[in-house]
Amino acid sequence: MTDSTPAIDRDHAALLVMDYQPGIVDMVSDGAALVRRMAETIAVARARGVRIGYVRVAFDEADYDAIPSANKSFSGIAAARRMPDGSSESAVHPDLAPAPGDIVVRKTRVGAFSTTDLDRQLRDRGIDTLILAGISTSGVVLSTVRDAADRDYRVYVLEDGSADPDGEVHALLTKRVFPRQAYVISVAELPKLLPVE
């Protein structure tokens, strides 16, 4: 966070908790600490009146069948029938369970927008600012930062609310790439940007 990082208008902001699922959390080191940090962050955001949204990846049989072999990222997932919808591995992590009224979308590709109605749900609620946290930084976070910026959202990325199996890639993205399109902040800095009435 810098002195030029603008305060967040909580009435028009959403915290998006992306791919925090048992089948994905285990891919990063110290996933348990990351989940605890996100649980605290969600609680702070809720207390300050920020809307919470969850993005999860999961597939049904039709989704698997629709993935072509040319899709390098997802053809292996389809062949192995990984992350089936309705399974424990594809559910939102139980320690971060959505509350009534939260936004929850299921996706079948990397980014939060391309295979969901997330943009419409956000716009219908007057959301123009996104606070992103996700696993992995080089996957859902990168894709969603780029897409959200192209859709003219103001974007914040929680650096320590996101993680990647490759720590060097995480550092490169959060230090060098994301600041071109997003404000990169820590979990501890978030409350400072959310004024209390």
pLDDT tens-digit readout, 71-105: 999 999 999 999 999 999 999 999 999 999 999 99
Instruction: Give the torsion sign (CA, 36, 40, 41, 46).
Output: positive
The structural domains of the chain, with segments of one domain joined by +, span 10-193
* Per-residue CA distances from 53 to 17, 50, 77, 104, 169 (Å): 6, 10, 25, 6, 25
At the fourth CATH level, which superfamily is domain 10-193?
A: Isochorismatase-like (3.40.50.850)
The pTM assigned to this predicted structure is 0.96
Other CB atoms closer than 10 Å to residue 58's CB: what's the count? 19
How many whole angstroms separate alpha carbon 1 and alpha carbon 156?
A: 10
